[in-house]
């Protein structure tokens, strides 16, 4: 059996800390919208993933479907330009921050 490793990829990401906090797309529209409870649901119920009340959550629509965004989730712009949420633990297991030198031009 051969061994393989992932090719390095680069993404932009930001911690989502609430509605109106960004990120924003090229048109200036917020990428994360307000979470809407399912019909008959209560936005005061708590999230099974983070324990916060649902009204503190956002919603992000992607090509593959929609996702609930918990406070503290990382919002990634992937190599295809699509925004998607990622849990901090999973994000930190895969990505590390790139530190730039002062005056360095980043493309």
The range of the structural domain enclosing residue 27 comes to 12-94
For residue 79, tell me if it sits in a domain.
yes
For residue 104, tell me if it sits in a domain.
no
- Three-state DSSP at 67 gives strand
Confidence of residue 78 (pLDDT cuts 50, 70, 90): confident
At 75 the pLDDT is 94
Residue 54 has pLDDT above 90, yes or no: no
For residue 106, tell me if it sits in a domain.
no
For residue 3, tell me if it sits in a domain.
no
The CA–CA distances, whole Å, from 89 to 1, 44, 74, 98, 105 equal 30, 25, 10, 18, 29
For residue 100, tell me if it sits in a domain.
no
Pick the residue with more confidence: 44 or 72?
72
For residue 32, tell me if it sits in a domain.
yes
Domains identified in the chain, total number: 1
For residue 56, tell me if it sits in a domain.
yes
For residue 16, tell me if it sits in a domain.
yes
């Amino acid at each position: 059996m051969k061994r393989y490793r992932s090719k390095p990829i680069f993404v932009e990401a930001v911690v989502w800390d609430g509605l109106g906090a960004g990120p924003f797309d090229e048109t200036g529209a917020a990428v994360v919208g307000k979470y809407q409870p399912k019909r008959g649901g209560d936005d005061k119920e708590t999230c099974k993933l983070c324990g916060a009340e649902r009204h503190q959550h956002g919603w992000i629509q992607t090509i593959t479907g929609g996702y609930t965004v918990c406070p503290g989730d990382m919002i990634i712009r992937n190599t295809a330009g699509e925004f998607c949420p990622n849990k901090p633990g999973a994000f930190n297991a895969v990505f590390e921050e790139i530190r730039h030198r002062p005056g360095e031009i980043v493309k």
